[in-house]
Amino acid sequence: MPRETTPPAPQGETPSLSSLELVARARAGDATAREQLFARYYPRVFRVVRARLGTRLRALETPEDLVQNTFLAALTALERFEAREDASLIDWFARLTENQIRDAAKHHSALKRPPAELLVEGGHEPAARDTPPLEHLSRAEQARILDECIAELPADEREALVLRDHASASWAMVAERLGRPSEAAARELYRRGQVRLMERYSHRAGG
């Protein structure tokens, strides 16, 4: 099972340019702007990937590899992307991660080789033992547990949280992406997801 760590974002970014200015320069062929753009969004894309990565796929793929694949896909698609606001840019990255995770899942499904450690009685992973109290966890560990709990939510609640919290999507965008009739309906879906997430998180982090 791959060991998961939270990597630091790539170095070398200067914060003088806005994200949209970096996009414009990257589309014009500026390699430095492209590197700075990816460095700026690396932590957020990493969390989107980790929040969407299910338990079984997490045993086969690392978030780091999927983030790198996302940025490789972005390289070929950047010249066709036109961003008008920051939220649309992170939403674009989130869509690319969705494609990468879907492709990885199809690949491993085709291989039909589930990892032995997941083949436990009843199809469930054994419960964690001796989970440390919340106050003893580092921020990185808290973030990892939170993202794993998000990944275990029902798909619509998970996507509402990912789109709103990690992709900075507007309520209108959340409603459109998830097929909800109104922004109020999107908010209610998000609220249900938050409640379920906090219940799972408290159980996992607090023991």
**pLDDT value of residue 66:** 87
**pLDDT value of residue 151:** 86
- Which value, in Å, is the radius of gyration of the alpha carbons in the chain? 18
**pLDDT value of residue 181:** 94
Query: Tokens 């992307």 sit at which residue?
Result: 81
**pLDDT value of residue 85:** 67
pLDDT tens for each residue of 46-58: 888 888 877 777 7
**pLDDT value of residue 15:** 54
Domain boundaries of the chain, sorted by first residue: 1-126, 133-207
**pLDDT value of residue 83:** 67
**pLDDT value of residue 123:** 33
Q: What is the CATH number of domain 133-207?
A: 1.10.10.10
Domains 1-126 and 133-207 are alike in CATH topology: no
**pLDDT value of residue 189:** 93
The pTM of the full predicted model, rounded to 2 decimals, is 0.57
**pLDDT value of residue 124:** 33
* Cα–Cα distances in angstroms (integers) from residue 79 to residues 51, 73, 86, in the given order: 28, 11, 17
The CATH fold assigned to 1-126 is: Rna Polymerase Sigma Factor; Chain: A (1.10.1740)
User: Which residues of the chain have a pLDDT value below 50?
Assistant: 1-3, 9, 12-14, 114-136
pLDDT tens for each residue of 136-174: 457 777 778 888 888 888 989 998 988 888 877 889 989
Rounded to whole angstroms, how far apart are CA atoms 198 and 149? 9
